A and B are shown apart, each in its own frame.
Chain A
């Protein structure tokens, strides 16, 4: 379960250039939900995702990730939590383009102490097969198409078998057909029990989720259940 309690986020806090990015946000996302966070540019949706992904911390309020109250832990523990609990998918894939698909998928496993070196190959191959990129394992990422890159990013996100997948505009850089493919992958992941949180400004992407949260000027202005078409 993900829970935000009275969360505020300021950039340049107490400075002339202070920005109040999130305002008293209260939000609970249950395990197995597929949630879309929508809003225009500057509404605070990416900020929220980064807080949810432990990439950033709130200025005020509390953030619970399962049993953890995140702000109470050291950065090393937060890194471990991020490694074990969260898989990231970024708009521009967040891959190292000169490295091979295999290497890019391997990174979360390298930083997971529970995974032994010998186990890595099997886990990477399995994740690549699930995301249909097993034929390109030795190829450098820069030689792949946009859709293939996003599949590699998804493979990397799931290779550590996290409970939560956070996707920041996962289809923004893709054409319509490829975007549909990627959304189907995310839907399947959700059906397999993963909690999926997608930040998007694309209504058609949000419509495929079970719940749509709309943000405006750092505040939640609507939080509705949705039945995907």
Chain B
């Protein structure tokens, strides 16, 4: 209790010192967090791309058509465009389903769909809230990309008791074995979750988020989807994209396609050929349209995205080093007052170990205080600006950094105290 009261007293007399160290510390910690948070994304990305077998081979695009799409039709169109490559369809189509049947009738759904317009935000919000998608694929993504799957793929030959077997995203709150009730097309349906993707990383790194299956809530084999009656390509009323202009009311079919690049064709060539179909008049040509091609990210392209980060690295390190030196230097600058206090304590009967304990505890308290404050500031920044600047790597790194710095300062402080000759300090005292 007595020692605690003394520690409290010493800490109070080091208020300015504490604030200075805290500021220095917070500044450095924030920069470390920012640097680690950003660079860990980069490092993870580079690692993923380095070991991914689809590096530099996959190009993704999406196709739309007024007629139902099939692999054969897409393949024919690519051939007509002069794109020679192997092609796989990731998802053939998507079925919009509604889960709150008591509140939304088919007529109401029609009305909402009809009025789906950015100006009608309240309806749009309601529409989004109560709906979800089931996408049918011709080839399940994990066969293509290194996305591990937990559970199993929906099997067209297996009996699921009238339920539609589906896979969910890794971020889904649904688990294997869960069921989901929904309504679409001609009736009510029940989905059974049989698989779950283990990682969402591939969507962020290799493909553009917001495209492909990323948008969908549930995935299944397109044959299961069509067989279930949940979605039929000819059913206009309950599919996602439908438009009306002055003359026509039409439905647009769409799907995502992976093109595996051949050795003799560059990205630019792919893009230029696909680009030819971008501005076709849908009604007049009425055939398949390829959207903006999304390239699989290669390491060089990825590095370019982070070039500004790479340029900032030396600055980050320099500031962190300066901050760290500042903290240590602050300790040295305040050494005189600490030594003075230690000399007084010694003249009052304190032994070496007690002085070392008091000094170490004070250093730890200052560091702990600074750490807590800096993390609170990080959280506030995260909340206010929505910046993701705290992740597991940065917290671990910062914790390690704090530990090393604390130990360093404590050791230096104790050596300074114990090496200092009390007598000299007292003499200096007397000669002031």
Q: Which residues of A contact B (CB under 8 A)?
A: 46, 50, 53, 55-56, 75-76, 79-80, 82-84, 88, 90-92, 94-96, 98-99, 103, 106-112, 115, 117, 120, 156, 160, 168-169
In the complex, 22 of the A-B residue pairs with CB atoms within 8 angstroms, ordered by the A residue number, are: A53-B347, A75-B351, A76-B352, A76-B353, A79-B346, A79-B350, A82-B349, A90-B347, A92-B432, A94-B347, A94-B429, A99-B9, A107-B348, A107-B350, A110-B5, A110-B6, A110-B348, A111-B345, A111-B349, A111-B350, A120-B2, A169-B430
CA of A56 to CA of B343, assembled, Å: 13
* B430-A110 in contact (CB<8A): no
In the complex formed, the residue of A with least CB distance to B3 is: A110
Cβ of B431: which chain A residues have Cβ within 8 Å of it?
92
A84 and B350 CA atoms in complex are apart in Å by 11
Tell me, in angstroms, the Cα distance from A109 to B6 when the chains sit together.
11
Contact with A along B318-354 (1 / 0, CB 8 A): 0000000000000000000000110111111111111
Is A83 touching B348 in the complex (CB atoms < 8 A)? yes
A90 touches B426 (CB 8 A): yes
Q: Tell yes or no: B395 within 8 A of A by CB.
A: no
Task: Give the complex CA separation of A4 and B236 in angstroms.
Answer: 112
Docked CA distance A97–B375 (Å): 35
The 3 A-B residue pairs whose C-beta atoms are closest, nearest first, are A83-B349, A79-B351, A107-B348
Which partner residue on chain B sits nearest A93 by CB separation? B429
Cβ of A96 and Cβ of B344 under 8 Å apart?
Answer: yes
Q: In the complex the two chains form, is A96's CB within 8 Å of B1's CB?
A: no
| Min C-beta distance of A100 to chain B, whole Å | 9
- What's the minimum C-beta distance from A12 to chain B, rounded to whole angstroms? 12
Within 8 A of A (CB), among B1-22: 1-3, 5-6, 9, 13
Interface of chain B, main secondary structure: helix
**Cross-chain contact B426 with A94 (CB below 8 angstroms):** yes
Report whether B426 and A55 are in contact in the complex, using a CB–CB cutoff of 8 Å.
yes
- Report chain A residues within 8 Å CB of B427: 46
Bound complex: CA of A88 vs CA of B349, how far in Å? 10
**Cα distance A64–B431 in the bound complex, in angstroms:** 29
CB distance from B1 to the nearest CB of A (A): 4
With A110-B2, A111-B348 already in contact, 7 other A-B pairs whose C-beta atoms are closer than 8 Å: A55-B346, A80-B349, A92-B430, A106-B5, A107-B348, A117-B5, A169-B430
- Contact at A56–B423, with CB atoms within 8 Å? yes
* Distance of A104 Cα from B295 Cα, bound (Å): 73
CB neighbours (8 Å) of A80 from chain B are 349, 351
* Interface membership of B156, Cβ < 8 A: no
- Residue B422 lies at the interface, judged by CB distance under 8 Å to chain A: yes
Cβ–Cβ < 8 Å partners of A156 in chain B:
348
Residue of A nearest to B2 (CB): A110
- A50 lies within 8 A of B347 (CB): no
Closest chain B CB from A175 CB (angstroms): 18
CA distance A103 to B353 in the complex (A): 21
